[in-house]
Amino acid sequence: MNKFFSKILWEMHSLVYDFKVGSRVHRDLQDDIINVLDIKKAHKLLDAGIGTGALESALLRKDVKDLSVLGVDLSEKMLNKAEEKLANEFREFKLLRLDLNNSLPFTGNYFDRIASSNTFYILHNKLDFLKEAYRVLKPQGKIVLSTPHEKFKGTEIMKYHYKKANKFSHYVSALVETIVALVLVLPFELLITIAEKSGQYEHLGGESLQKLFKEAGFDSHEITLAFADQNWLITATK
Ligand SMILES: C[S@@+](CC[C@H](N)C(=O)[O-])C[C@H]1O[C@@H](n2cnc3c(N)ncnc32)[C@H](O)[C@@H]1O
């Protein structure tokens, strides 16, 4: 799958993407990211690969609104969905279409926080992206990135809903999520898997990921598992 098909894939995926990110495992991931992101009043947040704005919807659910959000993404349709849901919800909310494989069009030392969820594995200039993230972060600024690890299993994501269920209503919603995933999301998951198998999308081991962060200039970082233990959750400070 080449760059062109990757772009089409995400444009098409935007049509059903909110069904996917509304599921419990995604919400738990968003909560994990928010917990370590530690947003303070008037912070400037860059969401690198904002998609339909799932992280920002989670911030709103927690009533965290007093910040300036800049969401960037390659997909126009993803950005349109984010705009529909989130315009006017924060102190400032802006969206910009750009390719994260290229240099970022921002001055250095600008953002307090950078979040990037489930997007890093798609990028082919991973080190350059991290160097750019380092450049645009303020001193003491923080990046929180979550990306699938090298042994990622999609089936574990589905199982998570059943493992976490402890009431009849949870089992019902887990079943509904399974059916929705099979009907609406599975074709896109298969295309993503093809991109992974062909090496276009890359799931990194923890050591490789940490090495990239160090090379980009981040001296200290913390790494844990998230997303049904199928993703790395890495937090680094400039
Ligand atoms: C799996 S989604 C994650 C979206 C969001 N962060 C979330 O967690 O719901 C990946 C996002 O990366 C975007 N994307 C893919 N390639 C990109 C690139 N080269 N530059 C910027 N965004 C890209 C896609 O359009 C899509 O919105």
Provide the whole-model pTM: 0.94
pLDDT tens digits for range 27-65: 999 999 999 999 999 999 999 999 999 999 999 999 999
Of the pLDDT bands very low, low, confident and very high (cuts 50, 70, 90), residue 1 is low
Q: Is the CB of 58 under 6 A from ligand 1?
A: no
Point out which residues pair with 234 in neighbouring strands: 145, 223
Q: Residue 231: pLDDT band by 50, 70, 90 thresholds? A: very high
Domain extent at residue 33? 3-237
Distance CA 237, CA 134 (A): 9
How many structural domains compose the chain? 1
CA 74–ligand 1 middle distance (angstroms): 7
Q: Is 86 in the pocket of ligand 1 (CB under 6 A)?
A: no
Segment 92-112 shows an average pLDDT of: 97
More confident residue, 102 or 190: 102
pLDDT value of residue 154: 85
d(CA 109, CA 107): 7
Contact criterion met (CB below 8 Å) for 235 and 226: no
Residue among 108, 133, 121, 123 at smallest CA distance from 202: 121
The CATH number of whichever domain residue 208 belongs to comes to 3.40.50.150
pLDDT at 165: 74
Q: Which two tokens stand for residue 51?
A: 């998609």
Q: Which is the closest atom of ligand 1 to the Cα of 20?
A: 9
Please give the pLDDT value at position 187: 82
Centre of ligand 1 to C-alpha 18, Å, is: 13
- For residue 73, the tally of other CB atoms under 10 A from its CB is 26
Encoding tokens for residue 212? 């990239």
